[in-house]
């Protein structure tokens, strides 16, 4: 074997062993260009031959790779690396995407919108809400509004659409048409009112003795694990949405706004919300099934709807959800959630 043929072979080995068909074509090319040449031109021609053969080798490799289906080289019998497709972004029912940043990463996690990063603007037509958020965040659309599990979210709510709510770890924000920012981390949070009016209800079920109204420029902080008289209304409008909640700041809520004895309902709701935030949906459902007997009718109705929602959306247990919602309608035939329950029965194709 001539020197330039040997050099060609060594170069080809560095690039990877050729297939039999490639080797045959290379041998043919070497034979064509390997005839003895005059001494004065031999080095130049040898180098040219090597270069030409290498170019031919690359050309042949390109033909082989481009002529086979993605992921498999039929000629070489070797798998080629393929790009794994990422799951497409998805939204829970009731949310509609208006705008998303290029780096937005979000998924429908069993009815909860989980945002890993990026900015989103969402519409909730059923509740006449527009939401703007920057991940990370977790929130769940409801017929009556939104449950915020984690994140900082700006709400703009149209007026005149009936009562809407935003549920948080420490209670419920009742909306009458407004713009406000909610910051929530699963255990504590803060709401800052920019425009309009809202009322904060400690614990999800409403009661007049627990209501705190807010006016534009005011903010209110809560802490779910230790409900006390320390919730505060802060009139400092310069606070930013990302500020840490400071329950002691500002004037304390009046004694009439907080019951003397802490009722069991807020604690129950807080436990349920923590379980939901941790993805422990079965434990949350069992808690609602076992610990609502001593509550008033309005509170039981709300928690009954929450339990059915867990069965249908998070646990994907249609038979149990159908049975529960039928019982709910029998117990509360003219209740507050009758329309939502009937809609859910239709979506689940309950008999």
Residue-wise pLDDT tens for the chain (351 aa)? 566 667 666 766 666 666 667 667 767 766 666 555 555 555 556 666 666 665 555 555 544 434 444 443 444 444 444 444 556 788 888 899 999 999 999 999 888 999 999 999 999 998 899 999 999 999 999 888 999 999 999 999 988 777 788 988 888 898 877 899 999 988 889 999 998 889 888 754 444 447 888 989 899 998 875 444 444 444 444 333 333 333 333 333 333 333 333 344 556 776 777 777 677 889 989 998 887 777 778 778 888 988 998 898 888 899 999 999 999 999 999 887 888 888 889 888 998
Cis-peptide into 187, omega within 30 deg: no
Cα–Cα nearest to 174, from 111, 220, 123, 217: 220
- From the number of C-beta atoms within 10 Å of its C-beta (0-12, 13-18, 19+), residue 324 rates as buried
Q: Identify whether 177 is part of a domain.
A: yes
Regarding whether 221 and 112 lie in a shared domain, the answer is yes
Q: 3-class DSSP state for residue 71?
A: coil
Q: CA Rg, the chain, in Å?
A: 33
Choose one of 79, 112, 146: the last residue of a domain.
Answer: 79
Place of tokens 């001539």: 2
pLDDT of residue 315: 87
pLDDT of residue 107: 92
pLDDT of residue 37: 53
Choose one of 79, 114, 143: the last residue of a domain.
Answer: 79
Residue 67 — φ and ψ, nearest 5°? -95, -5
- Please say whether the dihedral angle defined by the alpha carbons of residues 203, 208, 214 and 218, taken in this order, is positive or negative: negative
Q: Identify whether 262 is part of a domain.
A: no
Regarding whether 66 and 10 lie in a shared domain, the answer is yes
Regarding whether 193 and 168 lie in a shared domain, the answer is yes
In sequence order, what are the residues at sequence separation of 6 or more whose Cβ sits closer than 8 angstroms to the Cβ of residue 72? Answer: 79, 80
Regarding whether 70 and 110 lie in a shared domain, the answer is no
Query: Per-residue b/e over 272-290, b at no fewer than 16 CB within 10 Å?
Result: bbbbbbeeebeebbebbee
Q: N- to C-terminal Cα distance for the chain? A: 84
- From the number of C-beta atoms within 10 Å of its C-beta (0-12, 13-18, 19+), residue 266 rates as buried
Q: Identify whether 302 is part of a domain.
A: yes
pLDDT of residue 150: 92
Q: Identify whether 70 is part of a domain.
A: yes
pLDDT of residue 198: 92
pLDDT of residue 114: 94
Q: Tell me the two tokens of residue 335.
A: 């209740």
Write out the H or E segment, with its range, that includes residue 201.
Answer: strand 188-202
For residues 172 and 200, the answer to whether their CB atoms sit within 8 Å is yes
User: Which of left, alpha, beta for 22 (phi over 0: left; psi -120 to 50: alpha)?
Assistant: alpha
Q: Identify whether 267 is part of a domain.
A: no
Regarding whether 195 and 129 lie in a shared domain, the answer is yes
Regarding whether 247 and 100 lie in a shared domain, the answer is yes
Choose one of 47, 79, 111: the last residue of a domain.
Answer: 79
DSSP character for 40?
A: G
Regarding whether 197 and 133 lie in a shared domain, the answer is yes
For residues 167 and 142, the answer to whether their CB atoms sit within 8 Å is yes
Q: Tell me the two tokens of residue 105.
A: 């990463």
pLDDT of residue 15: 61
pLDDT of residue 52: 62
Give the structural domain span for 39: 3-79
Q: Identify whether 71 is part of a domain.
A: yes
Cα–Cα nearest to 253, from 185, 170, 183, 163: 170
Regarding whether 312 and 192 lie in a shared domain, the answer is no
CATH code for the domain of 196 = 2.60.120.1440
Regarding whether 102 and 71 lie in a shared domain, the answer is no
- From the number of C-beta atoms within 10 Å of its C-beta (0-12, 13-18, 19+), residue 238 rates as exposed
pLDDT of residue 183: 94
Q: How many domains is the chain partitioned into structurally?
A: 3
Q: Identify whether 41 is part of a domain.
A: yes
Q: Identify whether 161 is part of a domain.
A: yes
Regarding whether 307 and 249 lie in a shared domain, the answer is no
pLDDT of residue 55: 58
Regarding whether 152 and 49 lie in a shared domain, the answer is no
Regarding whether 252 and 106 lie in a shared domain, the answer is yes
């Amino acid at each position: 074997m001539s020197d330039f043929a040997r050099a060609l072979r060594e170069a080809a080995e560095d690039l990877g062993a050729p297939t039999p068909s490639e080797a045959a074509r290379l041998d043919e090319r070497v034979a064509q260009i390997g005839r003895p040449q005059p001494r004065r031109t031999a080095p130049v021609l040898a180098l040219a031959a090597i270069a030409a053969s290498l170019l031919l080798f690359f050309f042949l490799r390109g033909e082989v790779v481009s002529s086979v289906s993605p992921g498999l080289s039929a000629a070489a019998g070797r798998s080629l690396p393929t790009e794994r497709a990422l799951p497409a972004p998805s939204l829970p029912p009731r949310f509609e995407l208006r705008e998303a940043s290029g780096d937005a990463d979000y998924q429908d996690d069993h009815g909860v919108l989980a945002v890993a990063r990026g900015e989103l603007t969402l519409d909730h037509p059923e509740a006449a809400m527009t939401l703007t958020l920057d991940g990370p965040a977790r929130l769940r659309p409801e017929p009556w509004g939104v449950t915020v599990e984690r994140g900082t979210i700006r709400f703009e709510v149209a007026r005149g659409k009936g009562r809407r709510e935003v549920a948080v770890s420490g209670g419920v924000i009742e909306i009458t048409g407004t713009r406000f920012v909610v910051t929530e981390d699963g255990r504590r949070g803060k709401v800052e009112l920019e425009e309009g009016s809202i009322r904060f209800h400690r614990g999800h079920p409403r009661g007049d003795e627990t209501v705190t109204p807010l006016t534009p420029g005011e903010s209110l902080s809560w802490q779910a694990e230790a409900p006390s008289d320390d919730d505060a209304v802060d009139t400092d409008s310069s606070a930013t949405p990302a500020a840490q909640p400071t329950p002691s700041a500002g004037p304390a809520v009046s004694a009439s706004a907080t019951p003397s004895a802490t009722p069991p309902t807020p604690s129950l709701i807080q436990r349920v919300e923590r379980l939901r935030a941790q993805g422990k949906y079965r434990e949350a459902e069992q808690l609602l099934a076992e610990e609502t007997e001593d509550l008033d009718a309005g509170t039981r109705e709300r928690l009954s709807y929450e339990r059915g929602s867990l069965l249908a959306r998070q646990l994907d247990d249609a038979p149990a959800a159908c049975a529960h919602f039928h019982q709910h309608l029998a117990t509360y035939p003219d209740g507050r959630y009758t329309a939502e329950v009937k809609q859910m029965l239709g979506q689940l194709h309950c008999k």
